Amino acid sequence: MKNLLHPVFIFTFAFALMCFGHPSHAQSLLDELGPEELVIRPVSATFKDTKIINVQSNETPGANVLHFVIAHRFGKISDGAYELWGLDNAGMRMALDYGITDRLSVGIARSTFQKTVDASAKFRLLQQNSDNSMPVSVTLYSVTMVNGLKWADPTRENFFTSRMSYTHQAIVAKKWDSKLSLALIPSLTHRNLVESLSDSHDQWTIGAGGRYKLTSRTSVNAEYHYAIAGLPTEHVNSLSIGMDIETGGHVFQLHLTNAQGMFERAFLTETGGRWRDGEIYFGFNLSRVFDL
């Protein structure tokens, strides 16, 4: 019962109720307009970029568009003045995503955190429509991650597959009006190698994210990921807040988060920072698109 009252589950129920609770009312209003006045269009720009902060949004690059992202994550603010509140320590992630079609994209990235390489695919399954006949957008995302650190015990028999882990997500998003967009993101992360026999290979989380536009070029964003099953008791749920700034050809995302890693396995299942203890990381994502 305690888990059912968790804010993420309350948010999930309210989100579903608002999305699907009044289709007949919406349709009756549209019927009154007449067929000559009704123009059905897909809803665009639910989120400004392909990520809300850490987690994927429902957006994908357009066909033949190359999307390049440089992301930085600094040290903990609680490190104090000697470490310039974390700015002396920085990790980086560089990512390239390419739109094969307007609905399908593939990507590859490299992170300094755990020297991880990841390869991904993203597909827009459903697109929200202006007439509410399709009230939400649904995007599927899968990523394979490879840990590049040296083996802790190189003398034993180590397998390449033990470096691999996977995350699969469904991003259910809705743009409520010109300012507010919300998303629910259930995730399954699988590790080929775990530390002990008692650890689960599969970890389930459910996330909630949102964006609220302040001006035509700025917005505030937030996301939270709650561990459902498979994670150790010392795991800390990932919480991030930030701001998007569009500067013409770039999108600049500033954020604060308790997750050090910038790829899915890291921020969904390996978050250890606690906001109340100042274990918060400042970072940013800088993205640019190129038409090929």
Q: 111-159, pLDDT tens digit by residue?
A: 999 999 999 999 999 999 988 889 999 999 999 999 999 998 888 889 9
Alpha carbons within 13 angstroms on the beta-carbon side of residue 279 total 13
Give residue 23's pLDDT band: very low, low, confident or very high (50, 70, 90). very low
Q: Which residues pair with 18 in a beta bridge?
A: none
- In 3D space, the residue among 152, 173, 174 whose CA is nearest the CA of residue 163 turns out to be 152
pLDDT at 29: 44
Q: In sequence order, what are the residues at sequence separation of 6 or more whose Cβ sits closer than 8 angstroms to the Cβ of residue 79?
A: 85, 86, 88, 89
- Confidence band (pLDDT; 50, 70, 90) for 40? confident
**Per-residue confidence band for 240, with pLDDT thresholds at 50, 70 and 90:** very high
Q: Report CA-CA distances (Å) from 279 to 61, 87, 223, 276.
A: 33, 13, 17, 7
User: Does 19 have pLDDT greater than 80?
Assistant: no
Q: State the amino acid at position 110 in one-letter form.
A: R
* pLDDT surpasses 70 at 21: no
Mean pLDDT of 265-277: 95
Question: Amino acid letter at 124?
Answer: R
Q: What percentage of residues in the chain have a pLDDT greater than 70? A: 87
Q: Is the pLDDT of residue 38 over 90?
A: no
Domain boundaries, the chain: 3-291
- The CATH fold of domain 3-291: Porin (2.40.160)
pLDDT of 109 higher than 80: yes
The residue count for the chain: 292
pLDDT on residue 153: 86
Whole-structure pTM value: 0.86
